[in-house]
Amino acid sequence: MSDDVRQITDSRVLAAMSHPLRRRLMDILRVDGPATASMLAERTGQAVGNISHHLHVLAACDLVAEAPELARDKRERWWQRVPGATRWSASDFGGDSASEAIELAASSLGLERQVAFVRAYLTAPEPERDSWPTGPFSTDTWLRVTDAELAEFAAEVIALHRRWGDRQLPDDGQERRPVFAFARAVPAQP
C-alpha cells in the first residue's frame, strides 16, 4: 500500500474524523481545495465559530492544517486537508470496549454517508440525473478469497481510487464535476 495512506489506530482520531460536520469539512477541502472558516461556514450553513472549533479538532489530529501562504494578512486563516488517504481496521480497536464502540460507530456513520450520496443522486430532479448520460454505475460481485487475498484486492481497489482521485486534472477546457466513488467488501453469505 502507498506510503500516503494513513492507517488510523487512535480512537480519538477516528472519532474526530467521523463526526458528520467534520467529515463534510474534510470532503469540501478535498474537492474544492483550501478555504477559510468563513468560506466553509457559508458553504455549510454553520456559524464561523462552530466551523473554527471543528477545524481545530481536525488539526489536532493532523487531518487538516493551516495554509498560511494563502493568507492576505495576519488575521486571515486558510485551511487545507492534509494530503493522503486514511483508513482503519476494526482489528486495531479490539480489546477496549470504548475503542470498539467508536470503531463500530465510525464504520456505521461511514456506510450511512456513502448510502446517503447514492440516495441523493437517485432522488435528484430528472434534469440533474440526465446530465450524466453515461454514468453513474454500480457493480458488485462475489469473491472466494483468503484474508491475504482480500487485503490484496483492497490494495488494488484503493490504488485505483487514489490514481483517479489524486491525478493532476488536464487543462483541456472540459468541465469536471465532483463524483463520489466508494467500494466495500465484506464477508457475507448469499
Q: Is the pLDDT of residue 115 over 60?
A: yes
Round the average pLDDT of the chain to a whole number and report it: 92
Q: Which residues pair with 7 in a beta bridge?
A: 87
Q: Is the pLDDT of residue 29 over 80?
A: yes
Amino acid at the residue 25 = L
Q: Is the pLDDT of residue 4 over 80?
A: no
What pTM value is reported for the model?
0.85
pLDDT tens digits, residue range 77-110? 999 999 988 889 999 998 899 999 999 999 999 9
pLDDT score at 3: 56
CB atoms inside a 10 Å sphere around CB 105: 13
pLDDT score at 2: 44
CB atoms inside a 10 Å sphere around CB 80: 16
Q: Is the pLDDT of residue 1 over 80?
A: no
**Cell numbers placing 115:** 448510502
Can you say how many angstroms the Cα of residue 66 is from the centroid of all Cα atoms in its chain? 19
pLDDT score at 129: 87
30, 181 in Cβ contact below 8 A?
A: no
Query: Whole-angstrom Cα distance, residue 114 to residue 183?
Result: 9
- State whether the Cα torsion 68-70-75-80 is positive or negative: negative
pLDDT score at 74: 87
3-state secondary structure of 65: strand
Angle of helix 20-32 relative to helix 37-44, nearest 10 degrees, comes to: 110
